[in-house]
C-alpha cells in the first residue's frame, strides 16, 4: 500500500466497505483529532489536554488503520498502564465494530501483559535463564523471597521494613550498573542473589517481565540482522495510551519492541503526571518525543468542563498552551469554609441529599480528598444519613486467606520448582496439610494431562475438604469461596484447552499468571463477602453484566484515584495549607501536588466545590486555605464562607464555645483578606518585597520597574534550555521555555541563569 493513498482513493473505495473516514464517528471529531487520527509519521506524540478526547482519538486511530489502511488488528500493539484502560479501549472498539474476536486484540493490554504474552509465545526465555513454564510472582512474594535470602546469606540490608519499596525504587540503579546502593549496604548483592533464585524457581517478577522481554527482543533483532526481519515478527504499529506515565524500563521495552521498524503513536498529557514519586522520570512525554524523534500534535479542546472550571484549570497548567473550552461559563466554582471535617461531612451529607431530591443521581457526584484517612468521617456520616457511596479502595484475593492459600497451592502445582510457595502452603497455620505436598507435585502427571475439568474434580483431587477443616467455624464460607474461584478458573481453562490444545497444567498456569498481573481484584464496595467479580483469567472477556448493573452511589476517592474519571458535580475537601499541597520538601514535589490539584478540578463537568477547614483535624494541615485557592481568579469564585447550615450549630452549642469559634473564624477571614490584598499588591512588582529580596539575593532583582517594559530577558536552565523571563520575586523566578512551557523555580536552588543582565 503506497504512501500516497489518500482522500481520493479512499472516496473511490468507499463503495466496497464503509471505511472509517466515512463514518459518523470520524465526522464528529474536531480538526485536531482528525489530524491525529490520520497522521502516519514514523513516530508521533499527541499532547492531549485534559478532557480533549484522548481515548476517542486512540480508538479512531485503530479503526482508521484497520479499516482504511488495511492494517490487521493483530499487527497492532496497544499499550496501556492499567488493565482498566486496556479493557475500556477494547470495550469501546467493540461498541463501534462488534465483530472483533478476542484473539484479534491479543496485542492490546498493559506493558506487562504484552511482555508476558511475548515471553510465552515468541521469545526464547531459555536464553535468559528461565523456561517457558515460568510463573509470575507479585511484589509481596518477591519481598518475602528477598527477606529469606537476606537471612540465609546474612546480608546487611538497611530499612528492611521498607524492603518492598526499596526493591522497586533501586532496581533501575542496579540495572544501570551503579556500584553500591545509596545506603551503602548489600542491596545490590541481594538483587543478584534474588535473580539467581528466581531463575532457580522459574518465576519472574513484574519488573523481570519488562526487562527480560526487552533484552530478548533486542537479541532477536540482532539475530535476524539489519535487513528487514520477516514480516510476521513484531507489530506494524505501536499505540501507547497515557504515555506520560511510562518509566525508563517501559521506554526501553517500547524501543525494543519497535525494532526500528514499527510506527509509534503515543498519546498523553504532561500536565497529568501525578505518579512520578513512584519512579516515573522527569518528563516522560518530552523524553519520548525526543527519543523517537516524534512529531508532536496537540489536542487543545476540552469537551468536559464549563468555562469557569477551565479558566481556573488554566491557572495550573504547566506545559503547553491554554486549554480551549467549548462550553458556556456555567456555575462559578464554590469555595466554602467549614469549621472542621465533621461539620463538613454533615454539610456534604445534607447537600448531597438535597441534590438527590432535586433529581441528581448519586453516581453524578464525587468527593475527592488528598489522604485515604480522610474518608473515614465521610463514611460514618454518610452511613448515618443513608447516602449510598462507593469507596475506591481495592481489595485483592490476598485479603481472603483461603483464596490466598489456594492460589499458592495452584502456583506450586503448575511450577514444582517453586519451593518458596511450597513451603508457604505447608506452613500455613490455617490450611497447611502435609498431604498437600504430593498432590501439588503430582498434579502435572495426574490431573494435569486432562483436557477438561470441573471445580468439583479439583476440589476432590486436592483433598480440600480435609484441608479446609470441615469442623471449623468458617468452613461453609471457605468452601463457597474456593468453589466460586475454581469454577471461574475451570471455565477459563476449559475454553483455553479447547482453543489451543494445551493440557490442564498449561491452562491453569496461564490463568494464574494473568490473574497475578490483573491484581486479582475483588469489589471492595460490594456487600457480598468475597465476591470475586473481576478475577479475569486467561482468555476470558470482561464481564459485561457487572458493568451495566452499576448501582447508583456517590464516589469517594483520593485525588490520585480520580484521574481519568469525570463527574457532573465534584467536591474537593480539605483544600488547606499543608494538605493540598501536602507539605513537601522539594520543588519538584510541589509541582506534582499542583498537577494533582489540576487533575482533581478538571474532573468536574458542571459543578465544583472546594472547601477548607478552620480547624483541620489532620496532622500537618493548618487552618488556612490552600495557596492554590488564591491562584484562582476571584471572579470565577463564589465564596460561601461559614455556610448556611453551620449557623445552626453555633446556636446549638450556644454560649462561650460557639462565640469563641466564631471569633476564631472571623479572625481567620480577616487574615485571609489581608493576605489577598498583599498578594494583589505584590504581583505587579511590590517594592517592599523586591528590596528585601535584593538585600538577600544580590543583583538579579534590582530593577523591578524596568520589568514592566516589554523587554525580553533571556534565561537558561540546565534541563529546559533557553527561555524568557516571565516574572520574579524574592523567592521565585518564572520563565517560559519553547518546548516545556512556563515553569517556576526556587531561586535558592540557583537552577536558572539570567542571561541578559538588567
Partner DNA sequence: GAGCTGTTCTTTTTT
Partner DNA sequence: AGAACAGCTC
Contact set with DNA (CB under 7 A): 81-84, 110-113, 139, 156, 158-162, 165, 168, 183, 185, 206, 275, 277-278, 370-373, 392, 394, 517, 519, 557-558, 560-561, 582, 584-585, 589, 620
- CA dist 422 and 408 (Å) reads 8
Alpha-carbon span 60 to 80, nearest angstrom: 16
Least distance (Å) between residue 278 CB and DNA: 5
**Rounded to the nearest whole angstrom, what is the least distance from the CB of residue 121 to DNA in the complex?**
17
Nearer Cβ to DNA, position 111 or 265?
111
Helix (H/G/I), strand (E/B), else coil: 607: strand
Q: What are φ and ψ of residue 723, in 5° steps?
A: -150, -175
**Torsion sign over Cα 584, 162, 176, 127:** negative
Quote the least distance from Cβ 560 to DNA, whole Å.
4
Q: How far is CA 316 from CA 105, 300, 648, 714, 727, in A?
A: 38, 15, 36, 23, 16
Minimal distance, residue 85 CB to DNA, in Å: 7
Which residues have C-beta within 8 Å of that of residue 272, sequence separation ≥ 6? Answer: 50, 244, 563, 595, 598, 599
439 versus 595: smaller Cβ distance to DNA: 595
- Smallest distance, Å, CB 306 to DNA? 27
Q: At what angle do helices 475-500 and 401-414 cross, to 10 degrees?
A: 40
For 482-541, give the DSSP string. Answer: HHHHHHHHHHHHHHHHHHH---HHHHHHHHHHHHHHHTTEE-TT-SSTT--TT---TTPP
| Least spacing, CB of residue 91 vs DNA, in Å | 15
Cβ distance to DNA smaller for residue 146 or 701: 146
| Cβ-contact 338, 308 below 8 angstroms | no
**HSE-up of residue 137 (Cα within 13 Å, Cβ side):** 27
Binding-site residues from annotation for ATP = 48-55
Q: Read off the C-alpha cell for 556.
A: 469517594
Measured CA to CA, the distance from residue 312 to residue 309 in angstroms comes to 5
- Tell how strand 389-391 and strand 554-558 pair up: parallel
Q: At what angle do helices 419-427 and 401-414 cross, to 10 degrees?
A: 140
412 touches 402 (CB < 8 A): no
Q: What does the alpha-carbon distance between residue 21 and residue 6 come to, in Å, rounded to a whole number?
A: 11
Strands (E), 597-650: 604-613, 637-640
- For DNA, which is the closer residue by CB, 308 or 615? 615
Between 183 and 437, whose beta carbon lies closer to DNA? 183
- Closest distance to DNA from the beta carbon of 161 (Å): 4
Min dist CB 557 to DNA, Å, is 7
Taking the least distance from each CB to DNA, the nearer of 82 and 324 is 82
Considering the complex, state which of residue 91 and residue 736 has its C-beta at the smaller distance from DNA: 91
Burial of 164 (0-12, 13-18, 19+ CB in 10 A): middle
**Cα 267 from Cα 288, distance rounded (Å):** 11
Task: Report the DSSP beta bridge partners of residue 136.
Answer: 204
Grid cell 533483532 in the structure block, residue: 221
Non-local (6+) Cβ contacts of 625 within 8 A are: 335, 337, 575, 576, 577, 612, 672
User: 128 is written with which cell numbers?
Assistant: 535468559
Least separation in angstroms between CB 158 and DNA: 4
Q: Whole-number minimum distance, CB 113 to DNA, in Å? A: 6
What distance in Å separates the CA atoms of residue 699 and residue 707, rounded to the nearest whole number?
Answer: 14
Identify which of residues 232 and 585 has a Cβ nearer to DNA in the complex. Answer: 585
- Residue closer to DNA (CB basis): 277 or 437: 277
Residue 562 C-beta: closest distance to DNA, Å? 9
The total of other beta-carbon atoms located within 10 Å of residue 16's CB is 7
Q: Where are the alpha helices (DSSP H) in 233-330?
A: 248-258, 284-291, 307-314
Indicate the residue among 20 and 134 with the shorter CB distance to DNA: 134
Say if residues 318 and 286 touch (Cβ distance below 8 Å). Answer: no
Which amino acids are annotated as binding site, given as ranges? 48-55
Q: Measure CA 506 to chain center.
A: 31
Nearer of residues 63 and 561 to DNA, judged by Cβ = 561
Q: How far is the CB of 593 from DNA (least distance, A)?
A: 8
User: 115 or 481, CB closer to DNA?
Assistant: 115
Task: Give the span between the Cα atoms of 567 and 363, in whole angstroms.
Answer: 8
Amino acid at each position: 500500500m503506497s504512501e500516497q493513498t489518500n482522500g481520493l482513493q479512499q472516496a473511490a473505495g468507499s463503495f466496497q466497505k464503509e471505511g472509517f473516514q466515512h463514518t459518523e464517528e470520524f465526522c464528529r471529531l474536531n480538526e485536531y483529532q482528525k489530524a491525529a487520527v490520520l497522521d502516519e509519521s514514523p513516530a508521533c506524540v499527541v499532547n492531549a489536554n485534559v478532557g480533549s478526547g484522548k481515548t476517542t482519538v486512540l480508538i479512531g486511530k485503530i479503526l482508521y488503520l484497520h479499516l482504511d489502511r488495511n492494517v490487521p488488528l493483530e499487527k497492532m500493539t496497544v499499550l496501556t498502564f492499567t488493565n482498566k484502560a486496556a479493557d475500556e479501549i477494547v470495550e469501546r472498539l467493540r461498541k463501534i465494530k462488534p465483530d472483533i474476536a478476542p484473539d484479534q486484540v491479543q496485542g492490546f493490554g498493559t506493558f506487562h501483559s504484552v511482555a508476558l504474552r511475548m515471553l510465552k509465545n515468541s521469545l526464547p526465555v531459555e536464553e535468559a535463564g528461565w523456561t517457558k513454564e515460568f510463573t509470575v510472582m507479585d511484589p509481596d512474594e518477591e519481598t518475602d523471597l528477598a527477606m529469606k535470602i537476606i537471612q540465609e546469606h546474612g546480608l546487611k540490608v538497611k530499612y528492611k521494613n521498607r524492603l518492598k519499596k526499596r526493591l522497586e525504587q533501586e532496581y533501575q540503579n542496579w540495572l544501570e550498573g551503579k556500584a553500591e546502593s545509596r545506603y551503602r549496604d548489600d542491596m545490590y548483592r541481594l538483587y543478584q542473589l534474588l535473580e539467581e533464585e528466581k531463575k532457580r524457581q522459574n518465576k519472574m517478577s513484574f519488573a523481570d517481565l519488562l526487562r527480560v522481554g526487552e533484552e530478548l527482543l533486542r537479541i532477536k533483532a540482532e539475530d535476524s540482522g539489519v535487513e528487514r526481519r520477516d514480516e510476521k515478527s513484531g507489530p506494524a504499529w505501536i499505540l501507547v495510551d497515557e504515555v506520560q506515565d511510562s518509566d525508563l524500563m517501559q521506554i526501553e521495552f517500547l524501543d525494543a519492541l519497535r525494532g526500528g521498524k514499527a510506527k509509534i503513536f503515543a498519546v498523553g498529557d504532561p500536565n497529568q503526571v501525578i505518579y512520578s514519586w513512584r519512579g516515573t522520570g522527569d518528563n516522560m512525554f518530552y523524553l519520548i518525543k525526543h527519543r523517537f524523534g516524534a512529531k508532536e500534535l496537540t489536542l487543545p479542546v476540552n469537551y468536559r468542563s464549563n468555562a469557569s472550571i477551565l479558566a481556573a484549570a488554566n491557572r495550573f497548567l504547566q506545559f503547553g498552551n491554554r486549554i480551549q473550552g467549548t462550553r458556556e461559563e456555567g456555575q462559578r466554582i464554590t469555595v466554602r469554609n467549614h469549621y472542621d471535617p465533621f461539620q463538613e461531612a454533615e454539610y456534604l451529607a445534607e447537600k448531597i441529599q438535597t441534590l438527590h431530591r432535586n433529581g441528581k443521581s448519586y453516581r453524578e457526584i464525587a468527593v475527592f480528598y488528598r489522604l485515604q484517612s480522610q474518608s473515614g468521617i465521610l463514611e460514618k456520616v454518610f452511613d448515618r444519613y443513608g447516602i449510598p457511596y462507593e469507596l475506591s479502595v481495592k481489595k485483592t484475593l490476598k485479603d481472603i486467606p483461603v483464596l490466598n492459600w489456594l492460589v499458592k497451592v495452584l502456583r506450586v502445582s503448575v511450577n514444582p520448582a517453586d519451593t518458596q510457595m511450597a513451603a508457604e502452603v505447608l506452613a500455613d497455620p490455617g490450611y497447611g496439610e502435609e498431604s498437600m505436598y504430593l498432590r501439588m507435585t503430582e498434579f502435572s502427571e495426574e490431573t494435569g494431562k486432562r483436557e477438561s475439568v470441573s471445580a468439583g474434580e479439583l476440589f476432590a483431587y486436592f483433598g480440600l475438604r480435609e484441608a479446609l477443616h470441615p469442623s471449623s467455624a468458617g468452613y461453609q464460607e471457605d468452601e463457597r469461596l474456593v468453589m466460586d474461584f475454581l469454577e471461574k478458573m475451570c471455565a477459563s481453562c476449559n475454553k483455553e484447552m479447547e482453543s489451543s490444545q494445551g493440557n490442564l497444567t498449561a491452562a491453569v498456569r496461564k490463568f494464574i499468571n494473568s490473574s497475578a498481573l490483573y491484581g486479582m481484584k475483588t469489589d471492595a464496595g460490594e456487600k457480598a463477602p468475597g465476591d470475586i467479580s473481576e478475577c479475569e483469567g486467561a482468555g476470558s472477556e470482561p464481564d459485561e453484566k457487572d458493568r451495566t448493573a452499576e448501582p447508583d452511589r456517590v464516589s469517594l476517592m483520593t485525588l490520585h484515584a480520580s484521574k481519568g474519571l469525570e463527574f457532573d458535580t465534584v467536591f474537593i475537601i480539605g483544600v488547606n495549607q499543608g494538605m493540598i499541597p501536602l507539605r513537601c520538601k522539594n520543588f519538584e514535589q510541589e509541582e506534582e501536588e499542583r498537577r494533582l490539584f489540576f487533575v482533581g478540578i478538571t474532573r468536574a463537568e458542571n459543578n465544583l466545590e472546594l472547601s477548607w477547614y478552620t480547624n483541620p483535624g489532620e496532622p500537618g494541615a493548618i487552618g488556612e486555605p490552600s495557596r492554590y485557592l488564591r491562584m484562582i481568579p476571584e471572579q470565577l469564585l463564589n465564596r460561601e464562607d461559614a455556610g448556611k447550615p453551620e449557623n445552626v450549630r453555633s446556636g446549638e452549642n450556644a454560649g462561650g464555645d460557639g462565640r469563641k469559634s466564631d471569633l476564631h473564624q472571623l479572625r481567620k477571614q480577616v487574615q485571609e483578606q489581608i493576605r489577598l490584598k498583599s498578594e494583589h499588591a505584590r504581583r505587579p512588582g511590590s517594592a517592599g518585597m523586591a528590596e528585601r529580596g535584593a538585600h538577600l539575593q544580590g543583583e538579579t532583582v534590582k530593577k523591578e520597574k524596568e520589568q514592566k517594559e516589554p523587554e525580553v530577558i533571556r534565561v537558561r536552565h540546565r534541563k529546559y534550555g533557553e527561555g524568557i523571563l516571565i516574572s520574579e520575586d524574592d523567592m521565585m523566578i518564572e520563565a517560559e521555555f519553547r518546548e516545556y512551557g512556563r515553569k517556576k523555580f526556587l531561586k535558592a536552588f540557583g537552577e536558572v541563569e539570567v542571561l541578559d543582565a538588567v
